[in-house]
Structure 1
């Protein structure tokens, strides 16, 4: 799945990004505004797509005299499907959160970062996850590894993209924080929380425990 434009999995033409923009917009947009938001094609190409979609009734056109504003016809039979396709990234995050939420050994923290969090990437970009595991001597390593392995396979099943997990214990996270490891910026800016304690909260807890 193209992590920048997941809708292109089903609608690979310029229609995909245009529909994605319209599905997320609450108000009417001009052709130039839509072109800027899609970041694809040309202004003329976007307008041709909009004309074609308007002919199907999926897009409404409001004539304001000096400009035309386009908006998704949310009463159209196809509109709910378009809205769902426009939210594939959010659906992926929700599915991953649901799976991790059912783990017998819950993580201290779980999030996605990298391309999926930034909303960019390509067709073969990794779905990158951060897992902070419990800091326990009696941790059932086999069960934990099984959970992580199933999560990796879930990512592939849902998206077709490879999954990469950066996994460490709470103590190992403290070591990264103490050393001000640059990778912390990748994990936190931006990231999308899946479950557990927020990473910023863990950092604050670590800083509060430092001797003064």
Structure 2
């Protein structure tokens, strides 16, 4: 890094001539944040749904600006969470996922917690959230939500 003072601020530039630059460059070339996010999300599912058969019924997808790739520093992360039941375990899972995702990304996290049945009802009712999810939901863990959003 090179630092340049501009008024009351300091601007930093990456010093590509620095001896450690090749190691830093190699680390960033192998960074795959989507893979890491999917893996960590699956871990939170496993923590709250230790029965593999039950865990297989849970879906998590990111949607909104993060999924579209147009998020900025003020953007939050929107997560669709589909669980078999809307019970205390589902709420605890959603709360934990929101907390962990905030820690992983530094972004505020908004959870849209629902079930497959409620999602189908929203689809039939023409709820605008369905169009939003169809447009940009990106699966993170569990079953793909695309079939749940498809028109009947």
- TM exceeds 0.5? yes
User: TM-score with structure 2 length normalisation?
Assistant: 0.72
Change (3 A) 1:197 1:92: closer
Q: Secondary structure at the match of 2:78?
A: strand
Query: For structure 2, which runs of at least 5 residues remain unmatched after alignment?
Result: 1-10
Give me the whole-angstrom Cα distance separating, in 2, the residues matched to 1:118 and 1:14. 29
Query: For structure 1, which runs of at least 5 residues remain unmatched after alignment?
Result: 1-11, 16-51, 60-75, 208-212
Instruction: Please report the RMSD computed on the Cα atoms of aligned residues, expressed in angstroms.
Output: 2.8
Count the aligned residue pairs. Answer: 137
Q: CA deviation at 1:153?
A: 0.8
Q: CA deviation at 1:161?
A: 1.2
Candidates 65, 68, 78, aligned match of 1:118: 68
Q: CA deviation at 1:150?
A: 1.0
1:21-75 deviation digits (Å, cap 9, x = unpaired): xxxxxxxxxxxxxxxxxxxxxxxxxxxxxxx63x45899xxxxxxxxxxxxxxxx
Give me the whole-angstrom Cα distance separating, in 2, the residues matched to 1:82 and 1:173. 38
Q: CA deviation at 1:183?
A: 1.6
User: TM-score with structure 1 length normalisation?
Assistant: 0.54
Rg bigger for which structure? 1
Q: CA deviation at 1:196?
A: 2.8
Q: Quick one: higher RCO (CA 8 Å, sep 6+), 1 or 2?
A: 2
Candidates 38, 41, 59, aligned match of 1:109: 59
User: What stretches of structure 1 move > 6 A for 4+ residues in a row?
Assistant: none
Q: CA deviation at 1:134?
A: 1.0
